[in-house]
Structure 1
Amino acid sequence: MHGRKKSYLCLRFSFGSMFSERPFIKKRVQIHQDAYRLLIDACSKIKSCKDSRCYHHYYTNPIFEATRLDACVVVSSIISEFPNAVWSANENGHNFIQYAVINRSEKVYNLLYQMSEHKNIYRTIKDSFGNNLLHLAGRLAPANKLNLISGAALQIQRELQWFKEVERFVCPLNVVQKNSFHETPQMVFTREHKELVIDGEKWMKATAESYTITAALITTIMFAAAITVPGGNNQEKGIPIFSHAKAFTIFAISDAISLFASVTSLLMFLSILTARFAEQDFLFKLPSKLIIGLAMLFISTTSMVVAFGATLYLVFGHDNSRILTPIAVFTCLPITAFVTLQFRLVIDLISTTYGLSIFGKKRNSVLY
């Protein structure tokens, strides 16, 4: 009962306190709270009116449906009321942890971290086909789960993260253990993800090729700009005519930054095009190269636009400071466009590669 009250308070706080000022959010919070109370009332009704030997007839289907939908609050509430629910099995003989791995329900899977020594049974448990938990992690995720992630490369990365997480959890012997079809978990993963790896390679190459052209163009332009400085050179000394102007210093620094950044970006994208595209490369190596390439491309594009703006001011605005305003405004346009168009991709790459893991203990309370 104490655990149930604590779960309810956590649920109410997490949904209510942060968004209490927004009416439409408050309505959704109220729906969640009403649904939670209905769940608790249903559990209480079952416990008070039914024979304890028949409880599993009422909670088995709900706990597996909640697992499929990754509704960890529902799963944890049912287990709190009916502890034996952790041993429930569906028509395929899978318990709720195995089912969570199959359906990539990370919130339900993370309930393992709240369990006591009982979780050790899941380290070695097998289904009717001899598949341990790592074999199940080697299966391809359901289409509705994969579609939540943009890009085939990020999809295979998430699949690898799941495989590595379960690999750390199971016993070392299970990593090389074979199922009834004489397949190790790695063999299952390779077979199930063969097409996804090919799609990830195509997506990564297509992305790198498009950015390679852009980086090459910027490199060419900025190299030419460094040789042909604005205003030309003094014929006697060879020194640029505007060398003492502050705008010329801005141009020179921006041009150098843009040139070096675009070259670095070009090398990153070329290294992606020539990569071997092994399964494990999608976990960290390839996404890191793409992140560095995109970051350098953004820096080079920004510096190029700043250098162009400084050139315009040197040539046309040295006697008219009012030209600075339109130059600054138009300078921001391509930078804003680049950020807007590529922001989602960059954020997804950084969050999935360097962000916090989706796995781990989320609450300190003991589940079972």
Structure 2
Amino acid sequence: MACHPVEIVVHWTKQDMAQSSESGSCSSSEQNRNHNEWSPSLNLLEERNEGNHQLRLGLLKAALAGNIEEAKRLINDNSSMRLTSAAITEGQETIFHVAAGAKQTDFVEKMIDLMTDNDLRLQNEKGNTAFCFAVMAGSESVAGKMLEKDPTLLGIRGGKQMTPLYLAALFGEREMALSLYRRHYKNNGILTGLDKKQIFFVSIDTTLYDLALELLNHDNENELATNSYMHGECPLTPLHRLALTPLHLLDRSSKSDLLNQARKLVQLLWTKILEKEGNQVGSYFNDHRDLLFDAAHLGNFIFLAELISIYPDLVHQKDDHQRTIFHIAIMHRYDDLFKLIHNIGFNKQLLASYLDKDNNSLLHLAAKYPNPKPVNIVPGAALEMQRELQIFKDVEMLVMPSFRELKNKNGKTPRELFTSTHEDLLKNGEKWMRDTASQCILVATIIATIAFPAAFNVPGGNNSNDGIPIHRRNVVYRFFVMADAIALSSSSISILMFLSILTSRYAENDFYRSLPLKLVVGVLTLFISIAAMMLAFIPSIFMAYDHHRSNVIPILATIFVNFPVFIFGLSQYGLLRDVLYHSFVHSR
């Protein structure tokens, strides 16, 4: 992703960073004063001896485990040392820091009675109070007990002058952050403008979109929506940060509430930008067009769908290569993103006529095999070849007829480009098809070989006088005959299908419908033949053992004979599902 510092970024970095540096320069000395004022006792750390070591270790274990009785015993036995305000770790944490980080609510609640007034204000080596530890750990109950004891903890900043609310958002503690903001920070005036910006941006980074929405709703100056902040080495607006967050992955994670919040945040940000920019919204996107193409390169179709629904003219924006978001979608094979082109009416024909700087049309980009190759689109080279053909034909129906023979900068038509870039995939697809058909035809042949003689060697034998099967009037015998006939016919069909695959020309268009359909029929009939062969075995067992008093042997045989059917079904289910889906569902 390229970094493009624009005017709005410069405005923020000059004004707000100046404010930050001013407050930082004066706050560094203030931080030192606070640090000195609220520093814990370092006696246990400075006086290195076995007794102090064991005392620190005992307090640490008691705080981690929530062992109140042990902690009280150690504190009472060493009352002269004021252990509630003593640092017990190398990072200068007190027992309250440790207990808060370990979410030991009962420990903190009962130990509060033993502390002095300022023990909860003590800061560790990095400047964090025990209250900061509680909010970073997401322990609302511990934080609540501490605030009941000392409400001023809300105003004591942690390391690098971070507010407790910022720390809660930074660690992704949603409930803690929302509780702190709604109950304490929303209307008490503790947060500065710079604090709100920092909390707003970090809440987007950690997907606390509900907190970001509340902050944005109370931003009457619309500064949060239009300002930028440093993300790594690049200045990003909030909208750009959301563009870099694959919102469709939130949907797959079953976080529907989170996805809805992200949608609302995009809409509200856009509303705020419109209010701020007014008639200059077009120039805003000219300055920030990278967010569109970064989202397109990531396949962030949910984000782009929200923007397009609000401002349809965005579809005409082009990157440095003169490509729209739909050109990028085709290049990377983002189906969900490309489907948005069908929601823009007449504009789709206009967009399909755009050429990039190499004179490639949308059809040329569909014809070119993607590099790098998309991950886990379809299994198997043959199905991947089918998918490539489907994409090419879908785009071919979209563009005007004159574009189907248009040559690019290298003098190639879309069909010529498709053939040249898919040469290796075509060979791999042929090999995959041949290998699959060869293995399956062997199994189908074995089944046919078994099923054919079984029709004449019937269970129980034939009458020696007239040659008629002895059990011909038995319902079980009739079931055997039907199952054997199905096994023989389905295995024969399977052999013919796989033989047709082996003798195919393997032209490009054969992979579009012909070969996948033959593969589906071949595998399905093979499965049916295996199941029918197993079913034919069951009545044979019952007729062979019908003179026994116990049916244990036939029942056990019936149970075990089903295992091969289930194993084959499970092993081939994925292949059948993918072929059927990409042939008859995905292609629509």
With the length of structure 2 as denominator, give the TM-score of the two structures. 0.54
Query: Which moved further from structure 2: 277-286 or 228-237?
Result: 228-237
Distance 1:56 1:15, change over 3 A: closer
Give matches, 1:325-336, under 5 Å.
325-336=555-566
SS of match in other structure, 1:100: helix
Give matches, 1:1-368, under 5 Å.
25=254, 28-50=255-277, 51-52=280-281, 54-57=283-286, 59-143=288-372, 145=374, 147-320=376-549, 322-323=551-552, 324-357=554-587
- Matched letter for residue 275 of structure 2: S
Partner of 2:86: none
Deviations for 1:102-133, whole angstroms, at most 9, x for unmatched residues? 11122222222111322221232211111111
Deviations for 1:49-106, whole angstroms, at most 9, x for unmatched residues? 3443531255422222222333322112222444432221223221111111111122
- Matched letter for residue 237 of structure 1: D
How far apart, CA to CA, are the structure 2 residues paired with 1:302 and 1:252? Answer: 14
SS of match in other structure, 1:306: helix
How far apart, CA to CA, are the structure 2 residues paired with 1:123 and 1:53? Answer: 22
Cα offset for 1:216? 0.6
SS of match in other structure, 1:161: helix
The structure with more radius of gyration: 2
How far apart, CA to CA, are the structure 2 residues paired with 1:118 and 1:346? Answer: 38
Partner of 1:361: none
How far apart, CA to CA, are the structure 2 residues paired with 1:129 and 1:222? Answer: 61
How far apart, CA to CA, are the structure 2 residues paired with 1:88 and 1:104? Answer: 20
Is the 1:152–1:200 contact (alpha carbons within 8 Å) kept by the matching residues of 2?
A: yes
Distance 1:52 1:355, change over 3 A: closer
How far apart, CA to CA, are the structure 2 residues paired with 1:207 and 1:15? Answer: 34
SS of match in other structure, 2:289: helix
Partner of 2:53: none
Is the 1:63–1:78 contact (alpha carbons within 8 Å) kept by the matching residues of 2?
A: no
Query: Which moved further from structure 2: 237-246 or 184-193?
Result: 237-246
How far apart, CA to CA, are the structure 2 residues paired with 1:142 and 1:344? Answer: 26
Is the 1:146–1:155 contact (alpha carbons within 8 Å) kept by the matching residues of 2?
A: no
Query: Which moved further from structure 2: 284-293 or 146-155?
Result: 146-155
With the length of structure 1 as denominator, give the TM-score of the two structures. 0.85
- Matched letter for residue 437 of structure 2: A
SS of match in other structure, 1:89: coil
Query: Which moved further from structure 2: 221-230 or 184-193?
Result: 221-230
Is the 2:349–2:400 contact (alpha carbons within 8 Å) kept by the matching residues of 1?
A: no
Query: Which moved further from structure 2: 260-269 or 235-244?
Result: 235-244
Deviations for 1:153-183, whole angstroms, at most 9, x for unmatched residues? 1111111000000000101111111111110
How far apart, CA to CA, are the structure 2 residues paired with 1:237 and 1:52? Answer: 96
SS of match in other structure, 1:55: helix
Cα offset for 1:212? 0.7
How far apart, CA to CA, are the structure 2 residues paired with 1:211 and 1:35? Answer: 49
Cα offset for 1:220? 0.6
Query: Which moved further from structure 2: 329-338 or 291-300?
Result: 329-338
Is the 2:316–2:351 contact (alpha carbons within 8 Å) kept by the matching residues of 1?
A: no
Cα offset for 1:318? 4.5
Q: Report the RMSD for the aligned CA atoms in angstroms.
A: 2.4
Percent identity over paired residues? 33
Distance 1:292 1:335, change over 3 A: same
Is the 1:265–1:293 contact (alpha carbons within 8 Å) kept by the matching residues of 2?
A: yes
How far apart, CA to CA, are the structure 2 residues paired with 1:320 and 1:343? Answer: 40
Is the 1:141–1:159 contact (alpha carbons within 8 Å) kept by the matching residues of 2?
A: no
How far apart, CA to CA, are the structure 2 residues paired with 1:228 and 1:80? Answer: 71
Unaligned segments of structure 2, at least 5 residues: 1-247
Cα offset for 1:287? 0.4
- Matched letter for residue 212 of structure 1: I
Is the 1:67–1:96 contact (alpha carbons within 8 Å) kept by the matching residues of 2?
A: yes
Query: Which moved further from structure 2: 122-131 or 212-221?
Result: 122-131
Is the 1:134–1:167 contact (alpha carbons within 8 Å) kept by the matching residues of 2?
A: yes
How far apart, CA to CA, are the structure 1 residues paired with 2:272 and 2:470? Answer: 89
Is the 1:153–1:200 contact (alpha carbons within 8 Å) kept by the matching residues of 2?
A: yes
- Matched letter for residue 263 of structure 2: Y
| Structure ranking higher on relative contact order (CA contacts 8 Å, 6+ apart) | 1
